[in-house]
Amino acid sequence: MRSFAVLLRKEATALFSSPIAYVLMTVFLLIMGYSFTLTLFLSHQPSMVHIFFQMFVLFMLTAPLITMRLFAEERKLKTLEVLLTAPVSEVAIVLAKFLAAMSLIVVMLVLSGAYAAALAWFGDPDFGPIYSGYFGLLLFGAALVGTGLLASALTANQVIAALISLSVFLLLWIIDNFGWLLPSPADTLVVNLSLSVHFRPFAVGSIYLSDVGFFLSVTLLTLLLTVRALARR
């Protein structure tokens, strides 16, 4: 357990001491601030629904940038040899990297809480959809980080790692658009792979176990595959 804490601290320090984390947070807050202000002034509604959909898209674009270096850089610099020959399990290494990357996602979510606070300060928003939206984004972020981690474990090239995860996210974002055209039961199968189909209910205030299960399953599966990818040497 103590070794795990040492690993986690190393990953978090590496992440938060790199300029990438701060550039990402700045860009994220700038874009979200602009969207939030614009939609608020246009709609006059104390709602975060549009913001959640914006964050959904921004997370897909930023998660690969957070996760791409996690294993690819270690593989390229050969520090992975040092790490994987130390007496720590692959599971601990993967979880430490996952939690460190998730901590940045959480920080971004917490910072975006300023918008919810502003709505609460000046208006009377319905907090149900706000809570469910954040819960959904957290689960969604975990699935993205898990997938990004797996892509990073498969290559020594950070750009390729980022491109693999970005391609997967974009495909799973739009897959339901074409999925409906497929014959049954393929349509149901394909549509249910869609990230947006599973995220939409969270954003509008509904929490379904199937959606929670989907994101948790993707997270667990990708983490498991990452451990397998490291063990297959």
Partner 1 sequence: MLPVVSPVVFAERVTKWYGPRRAVADVSFAIAPGEIVGLLGPNGSGKSTIFRMLTGYLVPTSGRIEVAGHDVVEDSLGVRRAISYVPEDAPLYDHMRVGEFLNFMAGIKGLHGPKTRAAVEEVAERLDLARVMKLTTGKLSRGFRQRVSIAQALLGDPKVLVLDEPTSGLDPHQVIAVRDLIQSLAGRHTVLLASHILPEIEKIASRVMILLDGVLLTSDALKDAAQDLTLRLSAEATEDAVRGATKAVAGVREVTADPDNAGRFLVKAERRPPLAADLVSALVAAQIPVRELTELRPDLERVFLDLTRQPKAAA
Summarize as ranges the residues that interact with partner 1 (CB under 8 A).
Answer: 2-3, 5-7, 10, 14, 17-18, 77-79, 81-89, 233
79 close to 222: Cβ distance less than 8 angstroms: no
Q: Minimal distance in Å, beta carbon 84 to partner 1?
A: 5
Cβ at position 86, least distance to partner 1 in Å: 5
Q: Which is nearer to partner 1, 14 or 175 (by Cβ)?
A: 14
Cβ proximity to partner 1, 117 vs 231, nearer residue: 231
CB of 2 to partner 1, least distance (A): 5
Helices 209-231 and 90-122 cross at an angle (nearest 10°) of 150
Name the token pair of 148.
Answer: 């990004």
**Nearer to partner 1 (CB atom), residue 5 or residue 57:** 5
Closer residue to partner 1 (CB): 84 or 207? 84
Of 67 and 196, the one with the shorter C-beta distance to partner 1 is 67
